Amino acid sequence: MEYEQETTSGLSLKMWLRLVKYFKQMKRQIFPALITVVLTTAAFSAFPLFTRYAVDHFVIPGTTDGLPLFAGAYFAFIVCVGTGDVMWVKLLMAVEMKIGLLIRRDSFVHLQKLQIAYHNVNSVGYLIGRVMSDTERIGGMISWGFSGFIEALLTLVFSITYMLILSPKLALILMIVIPVAGLVAWYFQRKIMVVSRKVRELNSRITGAYNEGITGSKTSKTLVIEDVNSEEFAKLSAKMLRESVRNSRLNAIMMPMVMSLGSIALSILLYRGGILVSREMLDFGVLSAFIAYAVSTIEPIVWVSGIMSEMVSAQVGIERVTGLQGETVTIADSPEVVEKYGDTFEPKVENWEPVLGGVTFDNVTFKYPDGEEYVLEDFSLDIPPGTTVAIVGETGAGKSTIVNLACRFYEPTSGRVLIDGRDSRERSQLWLHSSLGYVLQDPHLFSGTIMENIRYGKLEASDEDVIAAARLVAADTVADRMPEGFGAEVGEGGDKLSTGEKQLISFARAVLADPPIFVLDEATSSIDTETERLIQDAISHMLTGRTSFIIAHRLSTIAHADLILVVEDGRIVERGTHKELLASGGHYSELYKAMRIDGLSPM
């Protein structure tokens, strides 16, 4: 498994502008949050002025006159600042949650629109990382990162402003130290950022190793490679430990250095301020306030440099997420088609013509987007409605490609695929896909019950309809073995069921949909011979009057097809019925004889 390396480039305004559309959607939360941050920070920065007043009017004179009024005002000020902090946190939590929701929603919707070819070349883990982990980092940075940056920056600005007003001479001392402290903090934060990225990468690898170790535990035991797995995991863990210690060490060095610079500046301020106070050139209250401001300027320097480093790191997530959202949808309906038939999420079903099931390949040439060789070349075939077409051939001959083109999961490189005499691109994808019943060799089930998984074929179906469809293909036998019956949970991806049981449920789902076009892609490969006999009659009944494509190695499942195609290197080398092909003595006949010699039952 390969992991992307994060770049170490600086801040990019262009990258953050990619999120403008989300800022606009969140303006009702973002703007009040920013205003609250500004007002709260300005108010908090005024606290040393209360100290100055208390020293000059109560401490130095040694009197308590007016102290109750001062205490009341001070308490009210604290309440206002505290209220502002509560509002600020509440608004920022809303920003973090909602912006994460918006980005995940848009990413998920776009993933639904992307063609199968995209999902074939991008792993599930990669996509989940983009949609979940990167989105979480972006949401946290936009809410807490930006607000923390603004708070720290404003704290510096307000503190320096107040110091310049109180004593310009003393302020100049800090004006020299602050840039030096900033450079030190920035230098270390850059190094910390690089090491942190290594830690995150190693953490991802460790997570992947955990996943492989758990999901592949049976394979590891059968291959007796537990010691190899443990050794590799130990190396990853040790490397992560070293990088984590290095990260902690850099943090441990940075903070004392920055604080030391602050302490040096504070010592100089106390020395100079003490001389000015002794010469009555500066009030003692002003010096007290000045010291408070000097202390409050050091920590924001570390904050600013740290947040800027995190912003650079978060840019990687922005690039990945927006890159995913900007991935080109190569199989898309034209604006004219969307206008008439609607799209996947807002279909105009009232405009859909009925699907009869006629499929025509008109000089189709095709190669996969990531392939170099043509899988089909000048392929032509006319399939009348209601025809059962069986496709046989060696692995990689182009069997599944023919079906995928007919279903418009892919589009021809050249040529046309016509459905009922019209180019499939002149109708909406949803129109065609809603008319398909697809049963795969390794079917996918969704988390939920057996009843719910079958009902995906027709969401408005009643429980009685679901059970009837299950009985038609013997899928009720799966429910009968479960204590909960049709209410039994199938697990994530159907992992509580065998592949054969999943195929039966997939069959029932397709039957319930009652589509005009069926596709059976090795649909009975994982079903035992006895169960297969039970559903053969049901399949024959199910396919009657419908256009169907059957891809199978067992000749018993295709012997009664109206048309059998033998595909080799993307070309049809034989076509005809079962009897015709046996009589011709070609490739199909040889395959039939080979199965009999091997002791398999071809019929």
CB atoms within 10 A of CB 181: 23
Ranges of H-type helices in 225-382: 226-278, 284-325, 335-341
Q: What is the DSSP string of 449-484?
A: BHHHHHHTT-TT--HHHHHHHHHHTTTHHHHHTSTT
Q: Which pLDDT does position 595 carry in this prediction?
A: 59
For the entire predicted model, the pTM comes to 0.67
pLDDT of residue 123: 67
Measured N-to-C along each axis, helices 27-44 and 146-166 cross at an angle, to the nearest 10 degrees, of 30
Question: Which pLDDT score is estimated for 2?
Answer: 44
Cβ burial, residue 213 (10 Å; 0-12/13-18/19+): middle
**3-class DSSP state for residue 393?**
coil
Which strands form 414-419's sheet, in the order they lie side by side?
376-383, 359-366, 414-419, 422-423
DSSP sequence for 286-318:
HHHHHHHHHHHHHHHHHHHHHHHHHHHHHHHHH
Domains of the chain: 13-325 (1.20.1560.10), 333-435+516-529+543-578 (3.40.50.300), 443-514 (3.40.50.300)
What's residue 204's pLDDT?
66
User: Could you tell me if 405 and 417 are in contact, meaning their C-beta atoms sit under 8 angstroms apart?
Assistant: yes
pLDDT score at 523: 63
Q: Contact, 101 vs 74, CB < 8 A? A: no
Task: Tokens 């159907």: give the residue.
Answer: 494
416: DSSP letter: E
Residues 534-551: pLDDT tens digits? 667 667 767 778 899 988
pLDDT at residue 249, as a whole number: 85
List the structure tokens of 327.
């991935």
> Can you tell me whether residue 515 is helix, strand or coil?
coil
Cα–Cα dist 436/431, whole Å: 9
* DSSP for residue 434: T
Q: Cα–Cα distance between 4 and 200 in angstroms, integer?
A: 11
Answer yes or no: are the C-beta atoms of 221 and 173 closer than 8 Å.
no
Mutual orientation of helices 226-278 and 168-215 as an angle, nearest 10°?
A: 170
Which residue has tokens 């170790």? 213
Predicted pLDDT at 427 = 92
Supply the pLDDT for residue 129. Answer: 66
Residue labelled with tokens 């003595």: 585
Distance (Å, whole) CA 559 – CA 556: 6
Which pLDDT value is given to residue 534? 62
The pLDDT of residue 1 = 41
With 0-12 CB in 10 A as exposed, 13-18 as middle and 19+ as buried, what is 492? exposed
Residues of the chain predicted below pLDDT 70: 1-11, 120, 123-126, 129, 200, 204, 208, 211, 215, 218, 309, 313, 523-535, 537-538, 541, 553-557, 570, 595-603
